[in-house]
Amino acid sequence: MNIGILLKEGPYNHQAADTAYKFAEAAIAKGHKVDAIFLYNDGVINATKLGDPPQDDRNIAARWTELSQKHGVEVLACIAASKRRGINDDVMIEGGEITGLGTLTDIAIRNDRLLTFGD
């Protein structure tokens, strides 16, 4: 099954980012293809390299980078949501890309399922 993910919450103030990541990992381990993660609203903060969590905490941005590099998952941030939060290409994680909201429609069309994490 081909799966797209929509993540609408920031990395440390809500469980949605952790749940989306763990879901993606589990789906891939079961042989499904996770095509793309589309970040919207505060979700765009997940794909910035500006965070510097303590050593004993999880590094959510690094998790998305690894998922992208290891499994070819696109990590896409909504341009409007990014601009509202001062995020540009310079601060995106490796493998992350800023794109238009129309890309979310493409993800929904080309995949069997689109799962949403966050409010």
**What are the catalytic residues?**
78
- To 10 degrees, the CA torsion angle through 36, 80, 17, 4? -20
| DSSP secondary structure code for residue 93 in this structure | P
Whether 51 contacts 91, CB under 8 Å: no
Count, in order, helices (H) and strands (E) of the chain.
4, 5
| DSSP secondary structure code for residue 48 in this structure | B
